[in-house]
Amino acid sequence: MNEEIRVLEPKNIWNKFADLNAVPRPSKHEERVIEFMMDFGKALGLETFEDAVGNVIIKKPATVGMEDRKTVILQSHLDMVHQKNADTDFDFKTQGIEMYVDGDWVKAKGTTLGADNGLGVATIMALLESKDIPLPPLEALFTIDEETGMTGAEGLKGGLLQGDILLNLDTEDDDEIDIGCAGGVDVTAKGIYREVPVNEEYTAFKIEVKGLSGGHSGMDIHLGLGNANKIMNTLLMLGQERLGLRVTKIDGGGLRNAIPRESTALVAMKSLDSNEFDALFKDWANSLKKEFAATEPNLKMVYEPASLPKMAMESKDQLALSEAIRNAHNGVYAMSKSMKDLVETSNNIARVEVGEGQIKIACLTRSSVEAGKMELAKKLQDNFEKSGYEVTLSGDYPGWDPNPDSAILKLLQAKYIELFNERPKVVACHAGLECGILGKNYPEVDMISFGPTIKGAHSPDERASISSLQKFWMFILEILRETPKI
**Residues 110-141 pLDDT 10s:** 999 999 999 999 999 999 999 999 999 999 99
With a pLDDT cut of 90, the percent of the chain lying above it is 90
* Whether the predicted pLDDT of 1 surpasses 70: no
Find the mean pLDDT for residues 226-231: 98
| Common-topology check for domains 3-182+399-481 and 185-397 | no
> What are the residue numbers of the active site?
79, 146
pLDDT number for residue 140: 98
Q: How confident is the model at residue 106 (pLDDT cuts 50, 70, 90)?
A: very high
Three-state SS for the chain is CCHHHHCCCCHHHHHHHHHHHCCCCECCCCHHHHHHHHHHHHHCCCEEEECCCCCEEEEECCCCCCCCECCEEEEEECCECCCECCCCCCCCCCCCCCEEEECCEEEECCECCCHHHHHHHHHHHHHHHCCCCCCCCEEEEEECCCCCCCHHHHHCCCCCCCCCEEEECCCCCCCEEEEEECEEEEEEEEEECCEEECCCCEEEEEEEEECCCCCECCCCHHHCCCCHHHHHHHHHHHHHHHHCCEEEEEEEECCCCECCCCEEEEEEEEHHHHHHHHHHHHHHHHHHHHHCCCCCCCCEEEEEEECCCCEEECHHHHHHHHHHHHHCCCEEEEECCCCCCCEEEEEEEEEEEEECCEEEEEEEEEECCHHHHHHHHHHHHHHHHHCCCEEEEEEEECCECCCCCCHHHHHHHHHHHHHHCCCCEEEEECCCCCHHHHHHHCCCCEEEECCCCEECCCCCCCEEEHHHHHHHHHHHHHHHHCCCEC
pLDDT number for residue 276: 87
Range name among 328-332, 359-363, 433-437 with the lowest pLDDT average:
433-437
Find the mean pLDDT for residues 177-186: 94
Tell me which of 388 and 440 has the higher pLDDT: 388
Q: What is the pLDDT of residues 233-257, one digit of tens each?
A: 999 999 999 999 999 999 999 988 8
CATH for 3-182+399-481 (3.30.70.100, 3.90.1150.10, 3.40.630.10, 3.40.50.1100): 3.40.630.10
* Domain boundaries, given as residue ranges, for the chain: 3-182+399-481, 185-397
Please state which architecture CATH assigns to domain 185-397: 2-Layer Sandwich (3.30)
* Whether the predicted pLDDT of 272 surpasses 90: no
* Whether the predicted pLDDT of 270 surpasses 60: yes
